[in-house]
Amino acid sequence: MSAEVQGAGPDATGSQSRTFEADVAKLLQLMVHSVYSDKDVFLRELISNAADACEKLRYESLSNPALLGDEQKASIRITLDPDVSRVAVEDNGIGMSSEEMIEALGTIARSGTKAFVERLESAAQQAESSQLIGQFGVGFYSTFMVADKVEVFSRRAGSDVASLWSSDGKGSYSVAAVALEEAPARGTRVVLHLMEDAKSYAESFTIEQMIKAHSGHVPVPILLADKPDAEPRQVADGAALWTRPKADIAAEDYTDFYRSLAGQFDDPALTIHFRAEGRQEYTMLAFVPGSRPFDLFDPQRKGRMKLYVRRVLITDEADLLPGYLRFMRGLIDSADLPLNVSREMIQESPLLSAIRKAVTGRVLSELDKLAGNDAAAYAKVWENFGAVLKEGLYEDFERRDALLGLARFKTTTSAGEWRSLKDYVAGLKENQTAIYYLAGDDAKRLETSPHLEGFRARGIEVLLLADPVDSFWVTSALGFDGKPFKSVTQGSADLASIPLADKAEEPAPEVSSAIAAFLAFAKTTLGDDVSDVRASERLTSSAVCLVAPDQGMDRRMEQILASAGRLDGALQKPVLEINPRHALVGKLAAARETGGDLAFVESATKLLLDEARILDGTVPSDPAGFAERLSQVLAKSLG
């Protein structure tokens, strides 16, 4: 989301003063005063931005070598000035024009500033601040945690114009042209005027330790000057971590690199580092985050994998993994792709397609290994990203079996623990031929659904599917281990052949003639509101429930399509199943058979349908009629 500006006219000096929109100004204040407890993050973010700028210049110079000029080697230089409490972070990368500065530095929380601010406020109240910068990635704006004024001098490579962006972080910023000698010959210099309580960040020891702890693995050398007139010394050599042998890399090195690359504070849940040789030669270093990103379900969200060619950053928007793996962070460095290929053409490269296929398979394989070796760690990964991985069950037919093996579910017998389909199939009951599931939008309501009663009586495990994507993949999946998926809300239950869990219980008796006559009466009374009325095998304690016809669409799927306006034609008429053993049903059947108050029996029968709709998570089709019938029944019961 781009921050809109107000009153953007230049003054007499050519400076343009711009005002952040209200939500953005509020966000900056939250960051400074409420949210972040670890202020060290600002340096990591500035170094990461500087390294990206250097990498982008390397790419653009492939087609335009003149951009490099006399300064061929990329570097990041940090200059301290403890006498005036000032820190400058300078790179000789691609640089920015004034328009690019307005776009890049006047943009916060692209996935929605208002929602972003709401989450920040909530987190500030709940002491969750340590994870936020990773989840939201506010980057450059973390500088206002330590500085009461931030200046950005920049000159784009190949340009003869330099610009200055300046702000105190309190709601406005200005952009102005500056003399060329005030800006870097190429690239960007960020100058932080430190707050009183942040003066320690101008000390050499403090900054050097921060660089080594959080930014020692960026692929650009980092130089540090203790004072403006001091000779800078190298504190990080710019050696790309992914080019080193795995045996030489400690777990802490991977974690530091992940945090620098992903802009997160958490530890990676899984690290995947390998080198492929043969038909394609490339290196992959990727991470499964330890926490869920804020914008994981944003429809506009793209993957976060970077593509390098022989250590030259080509793009950070390449389609390297399928959408259902968009939570991955990392990079692929290819030795085979041409350096001069355009960012647009790279997406159509057959070589990249082969790499994409291979790395997708490798990620799924590594997730499977994690599931087998550390079930608890994998359960956390599934908790965070399972809803996204399940998108692949609907989209990726080629890898559906592998994804089904990775899938985990809450079930009626799992006591809140995650269960695999392999576990489910191993526990099939006698004569059970299907994998049963119940889909909905509320996990707690699913657990209390009347549709489950007959299954629980027989000890049959039922998958409880509460994610929106569940209703789609489960209807397209052929099954698992030869067992088809079957909704407990669709068609007849076919439970008669499966023994009851309690052997002492007797099988249900045949439906009496009085009950049979009442079912026929109910079908006539309800008319076009239902497609059929029948005795239920699945109900044991509830009186009624609604199910889809035998050949109809699952109830949950129909509701989703209807709410999205994607359903052709009218909603299908449901089947009303009535529990022939329920006391209320028996009394209504007896009243109808003895010729009692038929008008009352008719109202009570319609009330049964209203009850079934409520249990199904919907509302009665005629609220006024429902209220009238309910009042009538209550009055009669008290009379």
Q: Are strands 532-535 and 435-439 parallel, antiparallel or unpaired?
A: unpaired
**Could you give the CA distance from residue 180 to residue 368 in angstroms, rounded to a whole number?**
56
Give me Rg for the CA atoms of the chain. Answer: 32
- Alpha-carbon distances of 232 from 77, 136, 425, rounded to whole Å: 8, 34, 65
Q: How does pLDDT run across 122-158, given as a tens digit for each residue?
A: 655 444 443 444 444 456 888 888 999 999 999 999 9
Q: How does pLDDT run across 223-279, given as a tens digit for each residue?
A: 999 999 999 999 988 888 898 899 999 999 999 889 888 877 889 999 999 999 888
Orientation angle between helical segments 41-63 and 251-262, nearest 10 degrees: 70
Q: How does pLDDT run across 572-628, given as a tens digit for each residue?
A: 889 999 999 999 999 999 999 887 788 889 999 999 999 999 988 888 888 998 999
- Alpha-carbon distances of 538 from 130, 316, 431, 542, 545, rounded to whole Å: 49, 53, 16, 10, 9
Strand order in the sheet with 419-420: 419-420, 408-411, 462-465, 435-439, 485-487
Q: How does pLDDT run across 413-437, given as a tens digit for each residue?
A: 988 899 999 999 999 999 999 999 9
Residues counted in the chain: 639
Per-residue confidence (pLDDT) for residue 130, from 0 to 100 = 38
* Closest by Cα among 473, 482, 346, 484 to 399: 473
CB 540 within 8 A of CB 579: yes
Per-residue confidence (pLDDT) for residue 483, from 0 to 100 = 94
Burial of 414 (0-12, 13-18, 19+ CB in 10 A): middle
For 98, the 3-state DSSP assignment is helix
Q: How does pLDDT run across 19-28, given as a tens digit for each residue?
A: 655 455 666 6
Q: Domains along the chain? A: 16-73+91-188+205-215 (3.30.565.10), 243-377 (3.30.230.80), 410-487 (3.40.50.11260), 513-638 (1.20.120.790)
Give just the sign of the alpha carbon dihedral 632, 634, 637, 638.
Answer: negative
Choose between 212 and 543: higher pLDDT: 543
Phi and psi at residue 410, in whole multiples of 5°?
Answer: -85, 140
**Could you give the CA distance from residue 167 to residue 171 in angstroms, rounded to a whole number?**
8
For 323, the 3-state DSSP assignment is helix
* Closest by Cα among 116, 110, 140, 136 to 1: 110
State mean pLDDT over 173-179: 93
Per-residue confidence (pLDDT) for residue 300, from 0 to 100 = 65
Q: How does pLDDT run across 485-495, given as a tens digit for each residue?
A: 999 988 787 78
Report residue 426 CA to chain centroid gap. 31
CB 613 within 8 A of CB 546: yes
User: What count of other Cβ atoms lies within 10 Å of the Cβ of residue 376?
Assistant: 7
- 332 has a pLDDT exceeding 70: yes
Give just the sign of the alpha carbon dihedral 509, 510, 513, 514.
Answer: positive
Give just the sign of the alpha carbon dihedral 308, 265, 102, 92.
Answer: negative
Residue with tokens 């974690």: 255
Q: How does pLDDT run across 101-125, given as a tens digit for each residue?
A: 887 776 554 434 455 556 555 655 4
State mean pLDDT over 474-487: 89
Instruction: Identify the bridge partners of residue 532 per DSSP, sorted by sequence position.
Output: 575
Range list of H helices, 1-80: 22-30, 41-63
